[in-house]
Structure 1
């Protein structure tokens, strides 16, 4: 095959989005002028269709054992069938063989299980879907598992977090191969983030907070996340919902696992982190939008919570064009 050959490995129980994020990303790169173009091949153990988690059937273009020659990028997708795939010695052996032919190797979501079973993650730092990370780490202690980032690069091997994190990994590959401008065009074409840094967390504070059914707690949380630049004292929040400060604090510890003050602090810090990594706004503007009294107040809170100043966070996490 001419161009940059990308082999995507599929198996029964695969997640369709894991495949589509990668194949569509590379296809858009071709449309935007990638030269050499990507040649994408979807390969399955027997070359036959595989059943996706959603119930759809995805046709393979080749048997794994029929794929040979130089491979630019090998991608193992994830899905509910990842454990069965990792327990299939023939499939794992073929992935190991194909990895030896590849310039770089990657997994999407729980596809990391197959890479680990093939020994390709031994001694490497890797990620997977946050929900599977603890069990993954237990089964493969030789892998340095980090469940937080959306993707991780360790030498020629890359692993990505849950599902749509594959878009971010694919954009990173496109930028590496063809430059930032084509990667930007791909992101715009796919109507997605221009590119989230790989070490951005898979889960944000707003998805980690339990969606409690308690009406008082829900009302306060909704108010906090939509009014970060307002005065958000515990007394003011308690008055908002007509309860005492003590009672509100007790409700929050019971239903959210943190006090109202801790929630406000963490919500403001997360919002500031997103602005620092995704915009060129000056520190004073970031502080003001997120409810900090001043840039110095933001700096002190940031250092106390994360151990680094916000300027350092921006230097590490923001794409080159936003620093």
Structure 2
């Protein structure tokens, strides 16, 4: 077997899971498949970011490393410009690499190193606008879990880096090896890159006012009911116009979109955790018909319900996928 080299570039500070998640994937594929090295500027220990107070000791000095097969760039804070020595060395290493992989906000380092010009890329949803502003010649895709543009691949936040890494293992070693890695790490079958980023921002905020919080709970508990603005406004004891305005202000989206997101989440959970027929799932989650549910899934997730179930159904829900 041809052993591929993987080099992870550790900026200071760095997000711990951005490092350990992808590298655990490559390690699980076996030492015959990948030889993994971590490196930082001058070989110094680096801090971890965002509240987890650890220090990571790299294997090597970045200046002593050769270009690897796969260059992995985990994310870190993006408030300040990156170290110019780091971006210069990153650019040099990338020139000889077969693949360059940015994990989460690692995309910002790739951009600063001149590696995203004219390419499609993504990052954590909360930083997509900033990435587009900072690197206007990059085509930023805010929805996908990961994006591949030529030899450069970028992922969304945190666990999306694991999904991307499993996809790269499949590319290198085949579907059976990728599935074995997923099983060893006790993660679901890996999500495709075009799967949307399912995050809290898509579900809206929890309202501050008690009547609106009660309406949100009612929607969650009764997705198959008539959830029109008129009916929801009556529950909140507001006029429809006032309800729509206040809901938008507090939740961050219109009532209609919020209902769509709740129904989508309810349908996703049913598909992941049961073998109920698509017609039954659609009826119980407010879509009325399997066709209406299919249209909603295609519009919001770019994947039909049946395919979604095949990819994401829990092993605790045995039975044939419909």
TM-score (structure 1 length as normaliser): 0.82
Aligned position for 2:3: 3
Give, in whole Å, the separation in 1 of the partners of 2:271 and 2:69: 34
- Asked if residue 113 in structure 1 is aligned to residue 111 in structure 2, the reply is no
- For the aligned residue pairs, the C-alpha RMSD in angstroms reads 3.4
SS at match of 1:114: helix
Is the alpha carbon distance of 1:299 and 1:174 closer, same or farther for their aligned partners in structure 2, counting shifts above 3 Å? closer
Find 1:155's aligned residue among 150, 159, 181: 150
Task: Determine if contact 2:204/2:253 at 8 Å carries over to the other structure.
Answer: no
Task: Determine if contact 1:13/1:82 at 8 Å carries over to the other structure.
Answer: no
TM-score (structure 2 length as normaliser): 0.82
Task: Determine if contact 2:204/2:258 at 8 Å carries over to the other structure.
Answer: no
Structure 2 unaligned spans of 5+ = 314-320
Which moves more between the two structures, 255-264 or 170-179?
Answer: 255-264
* Deviation, structure 1 residue 172: 0.8
Task: Determine if contact 1:7/1:42 at 8 Å carries over to the other structure.
Answer: yes
Give, in whole Å, the separation in 2 of the partners of 1:299 and 1:44: 47
Give, in whole Å, the separation in 1 of the partners of 2:284 and 2:180: 29
Aligned pairs, how many?
A: 312
Give, in whole Å, the separation in 2 of the partners of 1:314 and 1:44: 45
Task: Determine if contact 1:52/1:58 at 8 Å carries over to the other structure.
Answer: yes
Aligned position for 1:216: 211
* Within-5 A mapping of 1:218-257: 218-234=213-229, 236-238=231-233, 248-257=243-252
Give, in whole Å, the separation in 1 of the partners of 2:312 and 2:186: 20
User: Residue by residue, what CA displacement relative to the aligned partner does 1:190-247 show, whole Å, maximum 9, x if unpaired?
Assistant: 2323212212222446654022222222222233234323443445545655666565
Is the alpha carbon distance of 1:259 and 1:65 closer, same or farther for their aligned partners in structure 2, counting shifts above 3 Å? closer
Is the alpha carbon distance of 1:37 and 1:280 closer, same or farther for their aligned partners in structure 2, counting shifts above 3 Å? farther
Give, in whole Å, the separation in 1 of the partners of 2:76 and 2:200: 25
Aligned position for 2:70: 73
Give, in whole Å, the separation in 1 of the partners of 2:152 and 2:309: 21
Give, in whole Å, the separation in 1 of the partners of 2:183 and 2:294: 33
SS at match of 1:102: coil
Task: Determine if contact 1:252/1:258 at 8 Å carries over to the other structure.
Answer: yes
Aligned position for 2:170: 175
Give, in whole Å, the separation in 1 of the partners of 2:235 and 2:71: 54
- Asked if residue 59 in structure 1 is aligned to residue 54 in structure 2, the reply is no
Aligned position for 1:95: 90
SS at match of 1:109: coil
